[in-house]
Amino acid sequence: MAMFRVIIFLCLAAFAMPLFAAGKPAPSVEVVRIDGPIIPVSAEFLDKALGKARDDRAEALIILLDTPGGLDTSMRQMVKAIIASPVPVVTYVSPSGARAASAGVFLMMASRVAAMAPGTNIGAAHPVQMEGGKMDEVMATKVENDAAAYIRSLAQKNGRDAAWAEDSVRKSVSISEQEALKLKVIDLVADNLDDLLNKLDGWKVNTDSGVRVLRTKGAKTERYEMNARLRLLKAISDPNVAYALMMIGIIGLFFELSNPGLILPGVVGGISIILAFYSFQTLPVNYAGMLLILLAIVFFIAEVKVTSYGLLAVAGVVSLLLGSIMLIESPLPYMRISLKLILPTVATLTLFFLVLVRVALKSHRAKATTGSEGLIGETGEARTDIAPEGDIYLQGAHWSAYSDEPVAKGEKVVVVKVEGLRLKVRKTG
């Protein structure tokens, strides 16, 4: 009887085990891609991704990183979020050809696990002044020491080579993935995401709640993408896009002010200007450049009203070109406006303002062709002698007319004044 009970228990246990296993959710890993300059949009996106990973109780959040660097404030915000995250963050420089430069090095040092794909590099984290120009020696030393201490503390926290991390700031050193692995700057090299997940399985990471063992082999990966709002804000944060938006805004507002009531140019121009100014708050804008652009528009308008023999137009072109070049000034190439955009834009805007303003001014100066004003200067024929009054034939109708000089019947006359239905004329000769 006892043996029978044991057999029944074992059979029930065998049936129950798959049920318990089925009830246990498969591990999941959140994956996000952060590429391009590190800007406020990047920080907001990472914060949202970490929140979702936390809510989903993900095993880890993997950042696929490819960045040339970016803003110090945004980078520090992201570093704080990575350190405070209860979900371990794995930063993976990928795909082949990607890099973790400048601000990207700090993100790698802050992550619980740092990985790289073959054919990638890391380094060159020396701080630069985003507004362009050179910092004075004292300020440059302060900024460098602050960045060096910061990256050293991040490297030490996660057991990485703090000396190399400091050199990346002070000496702008940069190394390949194999050199980084050898120097213990990173934790591992993985060929692709699947390889990374396999290598991370069983990896022990330190968190604020203690040591945690990752279960990533065969884990379900969930890609977290930017929403439409963040994609829009990221797109307009590009210096070239910001510059184009400002030019569109200027043209739109000019159209609306010169032709009140059109509405559409004013709406498009207003929205473009607002979006441009949003972009400018994340970019190293030189407001002297912006003033030069506005001064150029003044020069173009003045050119058609003042006899300058083209000097004002030339001044406008020079001012617009210099203003465009100076508008966003930075030692970092990805933070500057491309000359390939500036030159055609300057040429197009110069032509636009000169042609448009000249046509508008010409239409204002043109002689009226309707109503009583349109009769002045018209040529008619005297139907009677005018001494000093008589009749003329003008525009298919008979008119009463008078003249300060005698006009014989049949002579051609020109209208010089309109007084109601009575015209003042003179001989054409």
pLDDT in tens, 150-174: 999 999 999 999 999 999 999 999 9
- Over residues 393-420, the mean pLDDT reads 85
Q: Decide if pLDDT at 38 tops 80.
A: yes
CATH number at residue 398: 2.40.50.140
Domain-located, residue 15: no
Domain-located, residue 14: no
Those residues with Cβ within 8 angstroms of residue 247's Cβ, 6 or more apart along the chain or in another chain: 345, 349
Query: Of 226, 258, 292, which residue is a domain's last?
Result: 226
Model confidence at 373, in pLDDT bands (50, 70, 90)? low
Determine phi and psi for 342, rounding to 5 degrees.
-65, -50
- Over residues 106-125, the mean pLDDT reads 95
Model confidence at 247, in pLDDT bands (50, 70, 90)? confident
Domain-located, residue 11: no
Return the beta strands (E) in 146-234 as ranges: 174-176, 188-189, 204-207, 210-213, 220-223
Q: Are residues 122 and 186 in the same domain?
A: yes
Q: Identify the residue with better confidence: 82 or 327.
A: 82
Give catalytic status of residue 102 as yes or no: yes
Q: Are residues 194 and 297 in the same domain?
A: no
Q: Are residues 220 and 247 in the same domain?
A: no
Model confidence at 22, in pLDDT bands (50, 70, 90)? very low
Alpha-carbon torsion, ordered 324, 326, 327, 333, to 10 deg: 100
Model confidence at 11, in pLDDT bands (50, 70, 90)? low
Determine phi and psi for 315, rounding to 5 degrees.
-60, -40
What would the two tokens of residue 281 be? 């708050």
Q: Are residues 43 and 184 in the same domain?
A: yes
For residue 250, the SS3 value is helix
Give catalytic status of residue 142 as yes or no: yes
- Asked if 43 and 70 touch (Cβ cutoff 8 Å), the reply is no
Domain-located, residue 158: yes
- Choosing from 134, 142, 171, 220, the catalytic residue is 142
Q: Which of 369, 367, 388, 408 is nearest to 400 (CA)?
A: 388
Q: Which amino acid is at 350?
A: T
The per-residue pLDDT for range 279-329, each reduced to its tens digit, is 887 777 888 888 998 888 888 777 766 766 668 878 888 888 898 888 887
pLDDT the model gives residue 368: 52
pLDDT the model gives residue 246: 87
Rounded to whole angstroms, what are the CA distances from 154 to 151, 157, 282? 5, 5, 25
Q: What's the CA gap between 411 and 205, in Å, rounded? A: 108
Q: What's the CA gap between 110 and 154, in Å, rounded? A: 5
Fill in the DSSP letter of residue 67. Answer: B
Q: Are residues 277 and 384 in the same domain?
A: no
- Asked if 202 and 59 touch (Cβ cutoff 8 Å), the reply is no
Fill in the DSSP letter of residue 366. Answer: S
Model confidence at 359, in pLDDT bands (50, 70, 90)? low
Q: Identify the residue with better confidence: 188 or 208.
A: 188
Q: Are residues 359 and 392 in the same domain?
A: no
Instruction: Specify the number of domains making up the chain.
Output: 3
What would the two tokens of residue 348 be? 């197009």
CATH number at residue 102: 3.90.226.10
- Asked if 185 and 173 touch (Cβ cutoff 8 Å), the reply is no
Q: Are residues 382 and 280 in the same domain?
A: no
Q: Identify the residue with better confidence: 152 or 407.
A: 152
Q: Are residues 79 and 202 in the same domain?
A: yes
- Asked if 63 and 32 touch (Cβ cutoff 8 Å), the reply is yes
Domain-located, residue 18: no
Q: Which amino acid is at 238?
A: D
Q: What's the CA gap between 67 and 125, in Å, rounded? A: 12
pLDDT the model gives residue 12: 54
Q: Are residues 66 and 142 in the same domain?
A: yes
For residue 306, the SS3 value is coil
Q: Are residues 307 and 175 in the same domain?
A: no
Give the domain extent around 337.
Answer: 238-365
The rounded percent of the chain whose pLDDT value lies above 90 is 37
User: Which pTM does this prediction carry?
Assistant: 0.71
Query: Of 365, 380, 409, which residue is a domain's last?
Result: 365
What would the two tokens of residue 423 be? 């015209």
Domain-located, residue 266: yes
Q: Decide if pLDDT at 356 tops 80.
A: no
Q: Are residues 357 and 281 in the same domain?
A: yes
Q: What's the CA gap between 116 and 192, in Å, rounded? A: 9
- Asked if 199 and 114 touch (Cβ cutoff 8 Å), the reply is no
Model confidence at 178, in pLDDT bands (50, 70, 90)? very high
Domain-located, residue 16: no
Q: What's the CA gap between 317 and 394, in Å, rounded? A: 49
What is the radius of gyration, based on Cα positions, of the chain?
37
Q: What's the CA gap between 327 and 288, in Å, rounded? A: 7
Q: What's the CA gap between 405 and 185, in Å, rounded? A: 103
Q: Which of 119, 123, 95, 130 is nearest to 109 (CA)?
A: 123
Query: Of 196, 226, 256, which residue is a domain's last?
Result: 226
Q: Are residues 115 and 212 in the same domain?
A: yes
What would the two tokens of residue 181 be? 């692995």
Domain-located, residue 20: no
For residue 123, what are the β-bridge partners? 101, 174
- Asked if 417 and 399 touch (Cβ cutoff 8 Å), the reply is no
- Choosing from 42, 74, 94, 102, the catalytic residue is 102
pLDDT the model gives residue 20: 43
Q: Decide if pLDDT at 422 tops 90.
A: no
Rounded to whole angstroms, what are the CA distances from 286 to 70, 133, 279, 325? 18, 11, 13, 10
Fill in the DSSP letter of residue 188. Answer: E
